[in-house]
Amino acid sequence: ETGVTQTPRHLVMGMTNKKSLKCEQHLGHNAMYWYKQSAKKPLELMFVYSLEERVENNSVPSRFSPECPNSSHLFLHLHTLQPEDSALYLCASSQETSNYGYTFGSGTRLTVV
């Protein structure tokens, strides 16, 4: 149990589908992140939420839509994705003021067909 739980672990979706990824942390952290990890590419920071406000959006296509309803939950809403969006999506959390490192979830393996 890492303290950061992601569901589902695996997701296969068609390009016209709408789905959501969920992340939940039980560590009392106040910042949460979405990363994309594609094969043979560096980790890509997608979104940062600090104190439930989005503070960073790294030029992510609008077909990805994050939501942070409270400090413990983070969602990534997906719609009309492309095959190149297939990747491992990782959620992480941290305590903003300390920068003591991130705690990661196990990720959601997304396949777009």
- Encoded one letter per residue, x for contact with another protein by CB under 8 A and - for no contact, window 74-93 reads --------------x-x-x-
- Using the rule CB under 8 A, which residue among 55, 61, 77, 113 binds another protein? 55
Q: Does 69 bind another protein (CB under 8 A)?
A: no
Instruction: Write out the two tokens for 71.
Output: 């400090």
| d(C-alpha 4, C-alpha 16), whole Å | 29
Q: Which stretch binds another protein (CB under 8 A): 13-21, 47-55, 62-70, 77-85?
A: 47-55
Q: Does 25 bind another protein (CB under 8 A)?
A: no
Instruction: Check if the beta carbon of residue 4 is closer than 8 Å to that of residue 78.
Output: no
Choose between 59 and 100: whose C-beta lies nearer to another protein: 100
| d(C-alpha 78, C-alpha 56), whole Å | 18
| d(C-alpha 54, C-alpha 52), whole Å | 7
Distances (CA, A) of 107 to 36, 51, 86, 97: 9, 22, 13, 25
Residue numbers of the site for another protein (CB under 8 A)? 2, 4, 6, 31, 33, 42-43, 48, 50, 55, 88, 90, 92, 94, 96-97, 99-107, 109
